[in-house]
Amino acid sequence: MTQTNSLLPPLTERSGVLRWMRKNLFGSWPDAILTIVGALIIYWAVKGFLTWAFTIAEWEVVSANMRLIMVGQYPVKEVGRLWIALGFLVFLAGNSLAIWARKSYFVTILLLGFPALLAFLPIGDESRGWLFSLTALGLVGWGIGRSKPESLGKIVIFGWVISLPIFVLLTRGFTSEDGIMPIVGTNLWGGLLLTFLLTVVGIIFSFPLGVLLALGRRSELPAIRLASVTYIELVRGVPLITILFVSQLILPLFLPPNMTIDRVLRAMVGITLFSAAYLAENVRGGLQAIPRGQFEAAYALGLNGVQTMVFIILPQALRLIIPILVGQFIAVFKDTALVAIVGLLDLVGIAKTVLAQPDFLGLQREVYVFISLIYWVLSYGMSYLSQQLEVKLGVGKQ
């Protein structure tokens, strides 16, 4: 017959569910005992959880407070603005997937279909409509990107660059109360919206700052090196919560009377400064992994110091540390939960206040399980996308 047949393993090692189980789960007496004990523990835990989740848990606390958990006290009549801002992001995502990940159908379907999937949760009809529109918008973006992948690239990159300012502008508004887009104070931002903004701002601003600090630490100018080292070691030497405490509690005392800096802004700055110090060390690790020969080759080609860094060294260094960077970003995402301690109503903060509602007293488990699920889905999403990115860039293979 053909060659593949002759390459099959001997009959005794061929796969099959039973054989696989026998080999991997019941290979020896200790294995068998471990398997049975392990299975019992899993069964017991899962059964307990599922029984609770489907019969005892009162999920009404979550559905009744869905808006609060998602956007905090953001005014109802302005929520459409957030959907539009989100729509812009999804549209860009559709574009980008079509242009840079043409073959990744699975990721595309997963990402663009996600909003539509959420629509099957027990939420209001209005949100359901918005969620379906998001998927539709993503698909339109994907279609457009697919038809003209070459010419659109730069426009889409520009779109991503302005996406954060647009998101913040739409969230905050810019007119007086009677205008088309009244200002919504940051004291009304909350829930996932606040967590999302803190995370995104933290990541986007700490990244360039971190790269600069890493370069500064490797600089040959003593003043710059000393400043970078001092900053990195000072900030890494204190917990994030103390930085948040300083920004929320101590800083206001130093400001002139009647001058207040927005609390959310203060938290954003705190998170950014903190994350930058860690990022700097990650980036430095990447820089150190680049062989000396790369610098020499670049100089030999006549590139100057800046060009060498920007075109030769940094692209390689950053590619190397993608897993570490994503780990750092996920950490930033979860660290934002600390702002609940200084009185901001992020996901965790809003969860605590939901628990104080007289109608839903004592439903800690339901609320916290739901919040954890949100954290997990988003963290795992980031992790999964980064793995796809690594595959695409061939990290670890080339």
Partner 1 sequence: MGKTLWIVSFLLGASLVLAACGGGTAPESTSNGETITVVETVVVEVPAESAVSVPAGFGVTLETVRARGNLICGVNSQVPGFGYVGADGGYSGFDVDYCRALAAAIFGDASKVEFRPVTAAERFTALQSGEIDILSRNTTWSLVRDTELGGNFTATTFYDGQGMMVPTESGITTLQDLAGGTVCVQTGTTTELNLADVMASLGIDYTPAVFEDADSTFAAYAEGRCDAVTTDKSGLISRRTVLTDPSAHVILDVTMSKEPLGPMVRHGDDQWFDIAQWTVFAMIAAEEFGITSANVDSVRSSATNPEVMRLLGLEGEMGLKLGLNNDWGYNIIKLVGNYEEVYNRNLGPDTPTYIPRGYNSLYTEGGLLYAPPVR
Residues that bind partner 1 (CB under 8 A): 64-65, 67-68, 72-76, 185, 187, 213, 227-228, 230-231, 234-235, 243, 245-246, 248-255, 257-258, 260, 263, 273, 341-345, 349-350, 352-359, 361-362, 364
What secondary structure does DSSP assign to 234-251, as a single string? Answer: HHHTS-HHHHHHIIIIIH
Given the complex with partner 1, which of 227 and 324 has the nearer CB atom? Answer: 227
Q: Which residues contact 64 (CB under 8 A, 6 or more apart)?
A: 359, 360
Closest residue by Cα to residue 228 from 244, 241, 211, 206: 211
Gyration radius from the chain CA atoms:
26
Tell me how far apart the alpha carbons of residues 334 and 248 are, in angstroms, rounded to a whole number: 19
For residue 140, the Cα-to-chain-centroid distance in whole angstroms is 24
Given the complex with partner 1, which of 213 and 298 has the nearer CB atom? Answer: 213
Tell me how far, at minimum, the Cβ of 154 lies from partner 1, in Å.
33
Tell me how far, at minimum, the Cβ of 65 lies from partner 1, in Å.
5
Tell me how far apart the alpha carbons of residues 163 and 199 are, in angstroms, rounded to a whole number: 15
DSSP 8-class letter at 119: T
Tell me how far, at minimum, the Cβ of 169 lies from partner 1, in Å.
22
Alpha helix positions (H), 52-187:
60-64, 66-71, 79-100, 105-118, 125-147, 149-172
Q: Diameter of the chain by CA atoms?
A: 89
Q: Using CB atoms within 10 A of its CB, is residue 120 exposed (0-12), middle (13-18) or buried (19+)?
A: exposed
Given the complex with partner 1, which of 142 and 189 has the nearer CB atom? Answer: 189
Tell me how far, at minimum, the Cβ of 353 lies from partner 1, in Å.
4
Given the complex with partner 1, which of 226 and 310 has the nearer CB atom? Answer: 226
Tell me how far, at minimum, the Cβ of 41 lies from partner 1, in Å.
24
Q: Which two tokens stand for residue 110?
A: 């997963």
Tell me how far, at minimum, the Cβ of 236 lies from partner 1, in Å.
11
